[in-house]
Amino acid sequence: MSRLEAALSALAERGDPIGPDVLLRKIEEQMTGESARELVALTTKGRAMQNMPTTTEPMAWWRRPRVALGAGFVALVVAVLLVVSLSGPDEPDAAGSPEEVLTEYRDAYNAGDIDAIMALFTDQSTVTGFPGEDLEPRPPTTGIDALRLVHLFDLSHAANEDAYTFYNIEVNGTTITWDHEWKSNEGLRGCGQGHSAVVEDGKFASWVFAEFGFC
């Protein structure tokens, strides 16, 4: 089996059968300049030669290399197109993944950077159960302005360095769950198990805060 036949067979196995004329047209569409003109000339000459009467006279020697080169050139182009068509899509970028967003949140919180924290939320983001002044869970808090106030209050009681530690992190699609340990500026330690958040487009869409207690 020739390389051209093998290429056509591979396309047929993929459920995309294609005839030689259509294949050549597709190749021509992918090419420009001298290569396209050469391919058109070669294929036209090949079709004309198919209609020539049969003869026992050997072909002139100066024509043979050009015909052989043309066949090899077509096979090479077909192979390149097959590689492109059979290759899968690029891997998606991991930037903005749930785990990356959680890491950015922890780093921003530990740095006391309220603007960096807020960059991870939108006006539609909702956090439920964030500890209030009496450490009782707050009702759902939605929007940048409300979440900023909640975080400013929380940061005012957090340790200056490494206030948050996250562990037992698990990701399932856009949902991420984790546990935490939190340190106050007075040396108290608070623990929470069972955070659950949904991350969309690199932002927290929703977050159900873990039940908080001292540890």
Q: Where are the domains of the chain?
A: 3-86, 98-214
What DSSP line would sit under 118-158, residue for residue? HTTEEEEEEEES-B-TTSPBPPPEESHHHHHHHHHHHHTTB
- Out of 3.30.390.30, 3.40.50.2300, 3.10.450.50, 3.40.50.720, select the CATH number for domain 98-214: 3.10.450.50
Q: Which of 44-53, 107-116, 188-197 has the lowest mean pLDDT?
A: 44-53
pTM for the full predicted model: 0.57
Taking only the tens place, the pLDDT of each residue in 8-42 is 566 566 665 555 566 556 655 655 555 555 554 54
Q: Which of 131-135, 143-147, 173-177 has the lowest mean pLDDT?
A: 131-135
Taking only the tens place, the pLDDT of each residue in 178-204 is 999 999 998 889 999 999 999 999 999
Task: Return the sign of the alpha-carbon dihedral for residues 100, 106, 110, 112.
Answer: positive
